[in-house]
C-alpha cells in the first residue's frame, strides 16, 4: 500500500525512452511482414489461391494470384508494423496490430493454398470457420469457468477435471435415461461436483488452490477411467450410448453467407457457449453480482467491511464455474462422440491459457479460444493439403504466442489481486 502513494505526476514524468511496448511490437510486426513478403512471396506459386465461400471447391470464391497475394498481404503487415513503429495513437494500437497479424496470416495462406497440389488449391471457408468454433468450444466453456472462479479469487486449475467429469456424467446419465436434457443436467452437476471439492478444500480448509486443482484433475481422470472400464466398456449399449443433440437451424441467421452455414446450423452447445460469453461479460461488469465478485477477487477485506459475504460469493462462483465447465464437457459426449478414457486430453489446460491470454475477461477469453481453435483447424487443413509445414509445428505456435502474451508483450496482464489467496477473517 505504501508505494501507492506515489503521485501520478511522477508516473507521467517517467521517461520510457524510444522503445515503448508499442514500438517493440511494431518492430516484431515489421520483421514478420518483411518475412512474409519476401519468403512467402518467393515460395508461393503463380496459381490462383481460392478461398471458396462454401464447404468444397464449388461455388463463388475469393481468388487471388498466389505470389501477388503473398507479397501484397506481407506488405500490408509490414506497413502496419511501420505504423506502430512511427507511434500511432494509443487507441489505434489494437486495431493496427490486428490488421497486421491478419495480413500476415493471409500472406501465409496465399502461399500455402497456391502451393498445394493441383485440384486442392482452394480453402473452404465454411469448413474452416465451423471447425474453428467446434475446436474452440470446450476452450470457451473452460475459460469461462476460469473467469467465474478466478474473478472471485479462487484459482481454477481443475478446469480439465470439471470438463472431464461433465463429459462423463453427461454420457452416463444421458445413456441411462435416454434423454439428452437429463444428460445435460447431469453433466452440469458432475462439473459442479469437482467444483464443490475445490471450493470446500480451498475456501474452508485453506488447501493451496493450485495443488488442489491438480489433485482434482487426477481424481477426475481416475474416477471416470475406472467407471469407464467397469461400466461403459462392459455394457456400452446401456451406459455409453447417450442420445445426441441434433443441429438447430436458426431462422434468418442461417441464411447469412458463409457464417450462416458455418455457425447457425449447429448444435445447442455453440449457441449456449456464445450466449454465456455475453451473459457473463455483462454480468461481471454491469450487475451487482459482478461488482461483488470482482471486489472479492481484488480486495476481499474491503468487501467484507462493506457487508459482502466473501466466502459465500466464492462458493457460489466456484460452483457456477463447475456448472459451466460441466456443460462444456457434455459438448463432447452429448453432441459428438461417445465417452472415452481421458477424452478431454489437456483442453482444460489450454482453456486456462486462453483465460490468461484473454486477461481474465470473458470476451478476451472467447477471442483467445477462437485463436487457439483456428490454429488447431489450420493445422488439420495443412495436413490435408500435404503442406511442407509439419502440422505439429503449427499446432505449437498458439502456445508460443501465449507465453509471449503472458510475458507482457501484448499489454500488461494482471490477474485479480487476491487470486489464489484464501480469505481468513481478522
| Residue numbers at the binding site for another protein (CB under 8 A) | 1-11, 13-14, 283, 286-289, 291-292, 294-295, 298-299, 301-309, 417, 425-426
Reduced to 3 states, what is the DSSP secondary structure of residue 49?
strand
Pick between residue 230 and residue 312 the one whose CB is nearest to another protein: 312
167 within 8 A of 332, measured Cβ to Cβ: yes
Dist CA 394 CA 382 (whole Å): 9
Pick between residue 7 and residue 117 the one whose CB is nearest to another protein: 7
Pick between residue 130 and residue 292 the one whose CB is nearest to another protein: 292
Pick between residue 117 and residue 426 the one whose CB is nearest to another protein: 426
Comparing CA positions, the residue from 393, 402, 381, 396 lying closest to residue 109 is 381
Instruction: Let me know the angle formed at the C-alpha of 232 by 230 and 176, rounded to the nearest 5 degrees.
Output: 120
Shortest Cβ 230–another protein spacing (Å): 43
Q: At what angle do helices 125-150 and 180-199 cross, to 10 degrees?
A: 40
Which one-letter DSSP state was computed for residue 228?
I
Pick between residue 68 and residue 289 the one whose CB is nearest to another protein: 289
360 within 8 A of 415, measured Cβ to Cβ: yes
Dist CA 208 CA 216 (whole Å): 12
Shortest Cβ 404–another protein spacing (Å): 19
Instruction: Let me know the angle formed at the C-alpha of 391 by 389 and 394, rounded to the nearest 5 degrees.
Output: 85
Pick between residue 250 and residue 308 the one whose CB is nearest to another protein: 308
Shortest Cβ 271–another protein spacing (Å): 20
358 within 8 A of 227, measured Cβ to Cβ: no
Instruction: Let me know the angle formed at the C-alpha of 64 by 58 and 68, rounded to the nearest 5 degrees.
Output: 155
Dist CA 190 CA 274 (whole Å): 22
Shortest Cβ 142–another protein spacing (Å): 25
Pick between residue 75 and residue 308 the one whose CB is nearest to another protein: 308
Non-local (6+) Cβ contacts of 287 within 8 A are: none
Shortest Cβ 361–another protein spacing (Å): 13
Pick between residue 204 and residue 309 the one whose CB is nearest to another protein: 309
Shortest Cβ 378–another protein spacing (Å): 36
Shortest Cβ 353–another protein spacing (Å): 23
Shortest Cβ 359–another protein spacing (Å): 12
Ramachandran region, residue 15 (left: φ > 0; alpha: ψ -120 to 50; beta: rest): beta
Amino acid at each position: 500500500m505504501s508505494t501507492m502513494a506515489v503521485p501520478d505526476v511522477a508516473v507521467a514524468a517517467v521517461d520510457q525512452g524510444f522503445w515503448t511496448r508499442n514500438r517493440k511490437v511494431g518492430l516484431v510486426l515489421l520483421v514478420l511482414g518483411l518475412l512474409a513478403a519476401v519468403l512467402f512471396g518467393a515460395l508461393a506459386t503463380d496459381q490462383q489461391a481460392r478461398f471458396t465461400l462454401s464447404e468444397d471447391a464449388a461455388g463463388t470464391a475469393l481468388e487471388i494470384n498466389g505470389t501477388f497475394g503473398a507479397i501484397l498481404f506481407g506488405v500490408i503487415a509490414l506497413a502496419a508494423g511501420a505504423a506502430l513503429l512511427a507511434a500511432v495513437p494509443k487507441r489505434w494500437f489494437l486495431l493496427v496490430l490486428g490488421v497486421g497479424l491478419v495480413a500476415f496470416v493471409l500472406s501465409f495462406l496465399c502461399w500455402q493454398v497456391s502451393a498445394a497440389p493441383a485440384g486442392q488449391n482452394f480453402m473452404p471457408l465454411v469448413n474452416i470457420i465451423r471447425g474453428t468454433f467446434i475446436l474452440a468450444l470446450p476452450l470457451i466453456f473452460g475459460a469461462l469457468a476460469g473467469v467465474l472462479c478466478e474473478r472471485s479469487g479462487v484459482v481454477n486449475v481443475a478446469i480439465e477435471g470439471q470438463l472431464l467429469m461433465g463429459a462423463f456424467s453427461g454420457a452416463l446419465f444421458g445413456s441411462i435415461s435416454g434423454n439428452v436434457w437429463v444428460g445435460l443436467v447431469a453433466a452440469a452437476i458432475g462439473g459442479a461436483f469437482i467444483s464443490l471439492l475445490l471450493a470446500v478444500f480451498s475456501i474452508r480448509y485453506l488447501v493451496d488452490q493450485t495443488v488442489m486443482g491438480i489433485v482434482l484433475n487426477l481424481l477426475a481422470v481416475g474416477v471416470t477411467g475406472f467407471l469407464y472400464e467397469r461400466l461403459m466398456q462392459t455394457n456400452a449399449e446401456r451406459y455409453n450410448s447417450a442420445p445426441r443433440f441434433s443441429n438447430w437451424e436458426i431462422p434468418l441467421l442461417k441464411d447469412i453467407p458463409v457464417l450462416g452455414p458455418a455457425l447457425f446450423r449447429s448444435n445447442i452447445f455453440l449457441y449456449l457457449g456464445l450466449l454465456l460469453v455475453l451473459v457473463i461479460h455483462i454480468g461481471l461488469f454491469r450487475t451487482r453480482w459482478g461488482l461483488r465478485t470482482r471486489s472479492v477477487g481484488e480486495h476481499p477485506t474491503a468487501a467484507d467491511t462493506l457487508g459482502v459475504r466473501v466466502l459465500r460469493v466464492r462458493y457460489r462462483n466456484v460452483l457456477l464455474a463447475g456448472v459451466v465447465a460441466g456443460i462444456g464437457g457434455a459438448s463432447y459426449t452429448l453432441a459428438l462422440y461417445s465417452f472415452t478414457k481421458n477424452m478431454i486430453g489437456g483442453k482444460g489446460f489450454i482453456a486456462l491459457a486462453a483465460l490468461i491470454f484473454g486477461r481474465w475477461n470473458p470476451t478476451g477469453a472467447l477471442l483467445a479460444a477462437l485463436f487457439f481453435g483456428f490454429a488447431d483447424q489450420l493445422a488439420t487443413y495443412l495436413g490435408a493439403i500435404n503442406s511442407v509445414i509439419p502440422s505439429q509445428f503449427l499446432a505449437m505456435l498458439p502456445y508460443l504466442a501465449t507465453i509471449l502474451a503472458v510475458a507482457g508483450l501484448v499489454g500488461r496482464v494482471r490477474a485479480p489481486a487476491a487470486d489464489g489467496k484464501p480469505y481468513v477473517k481478522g
